Structures are given as structure tokens and as C-alpha cells.
Amino acid sequence: MYRYDEFDHAFVSARVEQFKDQVERRLAGELTEEQFRPLRLMNGVYLQLHAYMLRVAIPYGTLSGRQMHKLAHIARRYDRGYGHFTTRQNIQYNWPALSDMPAVLDELASVEMHALQTSGNCIRNVTADHFAGAAADEVADPRPYAEILRQWSSMHPEFSYLPRKFKIAVTGADRDRAAIQVHDIGLHLKKNEAGELGFAVYIGGGQGRTPMVAKKIRDFLPIEDLLTYTTAIVRVYNLHGRRDNKYKARIKILVHETGTEEITRQVEAEWQAIKDTDLKMPQQDVDAIDNYFRMPNLPQRPEGWSQLAISRKADPSFARWVDQNVTPHKNPDYGVVTISLKPIGGIPGDATDAQMDLVADIAEKFSNDEIRVSHEQNLVLPHVAIADLRIVYDLLLTDGLATANAGLITDIIACPGLDYCALANARSIPVAQRISERFGQPERQADIGELKIKISGCINACGHHHVGHIGILGVEKKGEELYQISLGGSGDEICTIGDITGRGFSSEEIVDAVETIVDRYLQVRTDKEENFLATYRRLGAAPFKDALYNETANAA
Amino acid sequence: MSVKVLTANRLTDGEAVWLGANGEWLDHIDGALVARHAEAVAALEEAGKAAIKSNLVIDVNVIDVEERGTNLYPLRLRERIRQLGPTIRLDLGKQAEKTSANAA
């Protein structure tokens, strides 16, 4: 894992001291809210419905046990005993007092963490594939490049006041687990025919009120050009992005209005002027960062396979968990374990302080002291020996962390919604809970197979509803919550924005509506191998609309 | 009939508060100063501006409520959730304080 150098430590500590002073001045009345608001936002402090909220960055989703213990400690000491893992690989605390914020940031700095650039019109926390550095299908670990981008973008003087927020995601496998095509910049790390590493570069993706799939503007960008090319993109955006209308200020609108060809031309022209400047990365600098992310020295553990076979046979629940939540590792004696934060009927993404401590303990002992946070609001143990799966499972089971539903219908993404968020128009979490309860029976989930439901409580789409196989958007209509359904969205390498089915459903109707869609899918799929998305792509919306609206009409 | 009250979040801890008839910011909506006509609403708005200046609260808003017997019932779900706490965690927020007070 990356370790802060002297500069990083000094930089983060200086920011904590600065914010401490700003909070004191605010509480003393020397700063007005108007003056203070942008300052607190730059340090991740929002105001929600019930209290302040602190959003802490987890760069590219990677945490050590010590860091996770610290997050647990903060939840216990400064909050209400839990935290919420978000779709941007952050953690949010929902109840901290303003006066405690400097102390919390001090605690975070002591474990090389911060809340910088988790808000504001700057380059936000850089996200990455949560299986990075471990997945068997990976071409190369994207995290060194995410770290390079983090360092480059932190307090970047030119890019601290962009027209709007700016999000970068990086993946290192052909299977896109980081949803790069719905980011402002998406980078796909890959090898060319000569075996050299480089990036396919996508720009202008995003969700929110105007969802767009990113456009590929370069098929192969050599590693050494990462920062110069990224600078060129952000510079063109900074110059030409719209500042007159908040809703049209993201780069996706600029790309859309300018046209891909023209924007590519502008980026390339800008790049030509800077490509051989200081930001061109010498290989030794890349290697220095790369070193922090080397595959740990994992001992051979071939005995695991026979043990696993015995344990699977003896315990169907364990077998189900292994099938669903353990994915192939680069080292065949190991697996990548997804810890579901989606217990049946639970709150997606929430973890108690005790659960965080438990995960940290398990990681320290059984996963080379590494944890990942996924944009799907789960946790990941990236390096678990097959031989240790049983004991890890048993430990997870002690605190409700062994739900065998990764990628299934109850593994739902949901934003905090109107239960917490000042921007929301409708609740998300209770809808997720009711869907989870409706489909929670293990055999039923297994029969339905891979199906991603994503729920947002407002048009800002933090719950990624546009790329849900079934997406749900909560709106407010005549004082009531109303839920709009979209189908066929996908945030993976074949990225699509879901199609809205038609009129929305009330809170009472929405779970039945989802069940109607699922039942129709089960009727029309060719066989169990054809998952929901494939069926939707084959048949389109018609059979589902028919099920939703004609049957409703008939019933009425 | 819909009437108005003034709500905000307290500067120090962000807690939802309502302006009371006694001019204090209250932790609960009960006892909030109710404005029943335009002049009274204007007075609420003025009180809100003054409160921001005096640095006690932030995010001040006039909201619609209904008088239901002796209770004040916010018309928007958003405000009802602010009044009580997250609907998914009844152990948190003002609803939890009320429950524990009732239990005691």
C-alpha cells in the first residue's frame, strides 16, 4: 500500500491546522456561514437534514486494518456508532458536531487519511476497480496511476475552481468494475500489441440529470503521458465548460455540445503544447509509486482446495457464500472475498463500529492487512487463502457480515436519500430494504441470478440508478414520494443508460412493480444462463412495460 | 389550514431546531412560534435573518405546517423526517430522544 512521504504528511497536517483555525473563527462568529461554507466543503463537511455530515476519502478504495480501525474509532467516539460507505469509495459520518471536525481530521491524518476534495468543484477522490491488484482477470494494477492522479490533483492550483466537480475512475481489467464510462474521465489500463502499458481514455460520462456514456477519445495513451494528457483534458474543460448554468456545467455537457471530434481536437492541440513538459512521467517515478502496490508475497497454500471441498459439502450456506462472494485471485491458492454490506432487509453500505473493527482484524490476519471499499457499497478482502475461507466466513458470520448475495438482486446500491440527505426528494433506503426482504430467500435470489438494482433519492443519481439493470429514481410529486423505474442500464464495459418504463409508482406500489418485472424476466429468459440484462437487451422494454402497465390496467 | 413556522440547523452541531414563541431555538417543533398571516410570516423571515447574523443557526427556512389538535404537522415529508429522524433508524434523532423520554 502507498505510504505517505514527508511531503504528504506535512501537507495533510497543514490542512488540518488551517481548518481547525477556520472552525474556531466560525464558532466565534468571525466568519459568516457564507464565508465558511466553501471552506468546510473543501474539507468534506456538509450539512444534512439532521446534522453535519463528514465525507472521508478512501483513495481508490484501499484501506489497511489500522485505517479501518480508525474509521471504527471515529464512528464510536464522534458519531453514533456507524458509518456509511458510498458509491464513490468514501465513508460518510452522519452525526458529527462541527466543533469535533478538527479532532476527527487530526485522527484521520494520524493514519494517512483525509477528507480533502470530497466536495467542491475540484477533482474528487479518484476511484478504481475494487478488485485491483488481486483479480485474476486484471492486466495491471490501476492503483499506482490512481495514486499518481491523487497526488497531482490534490490542491492543484489551476483546477481548484472548475466549472463543476470532476470525477476520475481507473480500471485495469477488460471487465469494468469501476464504471469508468460514467465518469468525467475514465481510464482503462491495458496493454498494446507490443505488450506496453497504456490507457484507453474516455471523457464526458456521467449520471445526474443528464446521463451520458463517456466517449473514447484515445485508444492507447502511453503511461508517461498520463498527467500531460489529463491536464490537457481538464484545461480544455476549465476554459470552455459552462459556468453560467450549474446544470450544464459538467464536462459531459461540454463534450456533448462541442462534439467528440472537436473536443478531441482541442485536447490533442492542448496536449501537443505540454506533452514534453515537466509532467511527462519518468519511468523511475512511476516505478517508485508502483513499488507500493506490488503483489504481496503470498505463501503457497495448496492445502486449501481439499479443505474447501470438505467444508462446502458439509455446509450449504458456506458453499453458497463461496460461490457468490469469492472471486478468482491472481494466485490460484487465494480468493478475493466480497463482504456484503447488504444484509437482507438492512441498510445498504452501513457498517457499525464493531463490524469495521472485525473486518480490520480479519484483514490484518487473513488478507495481508488489506481491505477495499467498492463503489457497490461493499467491502473486499483482496488476498484470502482458499485454506482460510472457512475461518474468515465463520468470523464474518459472528456480526452479520456473511450475506451470500454479491451481484444478486439484494445487493442493492442505494443513496442515503431523504432519510439523511438535504438534496433528496424521496427515500431510497426503505425501498431497498423492502426489495431485499421480498427477494431475500436464498434459493429465489440464486434462481434470478445476476441483477443489479440501483436506487437514487433524487436526480443527482448518487445511487447510480441510470446504470442499474433495474434503476429506481425517487421524486416528489404533490407532496408524495413517487418512484420512476428504468431498465437495461449497465455501468460495466458495455455501458448503457437505462430506459424509463413509463409512469412512476407510489411507495406502496414500487416493490410489487419490481417483482412484476422480475417475474416477467423469469418467464421470458431463454434459460438460467441468460441474465436479466442479456434478456432485456434481446427483447427490449416491451415485455416489461406490458407486464407493468397492462396488467396494472387490467387489475384496475 | 396551513400555517408557517421557522426552522433551521444549529451552528454548533447541525441539529434541526425551530424558533419558539419565546424567541429561543427549540430542539422540538412543539412550542414553535406559529405565523398565521402575512405580517407574521414576514416577522418570521426577519427573525431568521437576525438569527443568521447572531450566528446561532444556519440554513433558515420558513416551512408549512398544519395545526392538528395541539400538534404541529409539517406538510412536507422532508420536514417530518427532520422533525423525527431517519425513518430507517428509529433509535436515532429526535424520535429516539422522545421514545427514551417516554420510556423513562
Residue at grid coordinates 406490458? A546
| Residue-wise pLDDT tens digits, B70-84 | 899 999 999 999 999
**ipTM of predicted complex:** 0.94
DSSP-derived letter for residue A429 is H
**Distance to chain B for A357, nearest Cα, Å:** 22
Cell readout for A441 is 430467500
Q: A413-555: same fold as A6-110?
A: no
Q: HSE-up of A530 (CA within 13 Å, CB side)?
A: 13
Residue B98 confidence (pLDDT) above 90: no
Cell readout for A83 is 458509518
3-state secondary structure chain B: CEEEEEEEEECCCCCEEEEECCCCEECCCCCECCECCHHHHHHHHHHHHHHHHCCCEEEEEEEEEEEECCEEEECCHHHHHHHHCCCCCCCCCHHHHHHHHHHC
Reduced to 3 states (helix: H, G, I; strand: E, B; else coil), residue A508 is helix
> What distance in Å separates the CA atoms of residue B88 and residue A2, rounded to the nearest whole number?
37
Contacts of A424 in chain B (CB under 8 A): 78
Candidates A22, A25, A45, A50, partner chain B, best to mutate (most B CBs within 10 A): A50
Instruction: Please indicate whether, in this complex, the C-beta atoms of A49 and B13 are within 8 angstroms of each other.
Output: no
| Residue-wise pLDDT tens digits, B13-70 | 999 999 999 899 999 999 999 999 999 999 999 999 999 888 999 999 999 999 999 8
Q: Which residues of A lie closer than 8 Å to B, measured between beta carbons? A: 26-27, 29, 33, 47-52, 80, 95, 97-99, 347, 418-420, 422, 424-427, 429-430, 433, 476, 479-481
Interface of B with A in 24-63 (CB under 8 A): 52, 55, 58-59
Residue A553's pLDDT is 53
**Distance to chain A for B21, nearest Cα, Å:** 22
Q: Which residue of B has its CA nearest to A23?
A: B12
DSSP string, A41-65: HHTTEEE-SSSEEEEEE-GGGEEEH
Contacts of B16 in chain A (CB under 8 A): 49-50
Instruction: Please indicate whether, in this complex, the C-beta atoms of A95 and B52 are within 8 angstroms of each other.
Output: no
DSSP string, B36-47: -SHHHHHHHHHH
- How many Cβ atoms from other residues are within 10 Å of residue A349's Cβ? 27
Residues of chain A with pLDDT under 70: 551-556
The rounded Cα B90 to chain-centroid distance in angstroms is 19
> What distance in Å separates the CA atoms of residue A533 and residue A111, rounded to the nearest whole number?
41
> Domain A413-555: which topology?
Sulfite Reductase Hemoprotein; domain 1 (3.30.413)
- CATH architecture of the domain A6-110 equals Alpha-Beta Complex (3.90)
Residue B25's pLDDT is 95
Residue B104's pLDDT is 45
Query: Model pTM?
Result: 0.96
Residue B100's pLDDT is 57
Q: Which residues contact A32 (CB under 8 A, 6 or more apart)?
A: none
- How many Cβ atoms from other residues are within 10 Å of residue A293's Cβ? 21
- Strand partners of residue A455: A414, A472
Residue B101's pLDDT is 52
Q: Where are the domains of chain A?
A: 6-110, 142-292, 307-317+333-397, 413-555
The rounded Cα A75 to chain-centroid distance in angstroms is 20
Reduced to 3 states (helix: H, G, I; strand: E, B; else coil), residue A268 is helix
Nearest to A233 by CA among A214, A213, A212: A214
CATH number assigned to the domain with residue range A142-292, chosen from the 4 options 3.40.50.150, 3.30.420.40, 3.30.413.10, 3.30.70.20: 3.30.413.10
Which secondary-structure segment (H or E) carries A461?
none
By Cβ distance, the residue of A47, A430, A433 closest to B14 is A47
- Strand partners of residue B67: B72
**Distance to chain B for A32, nearest Cα, Å:** 8
Contacts of A29 in chain B (CB under 8 A): 55
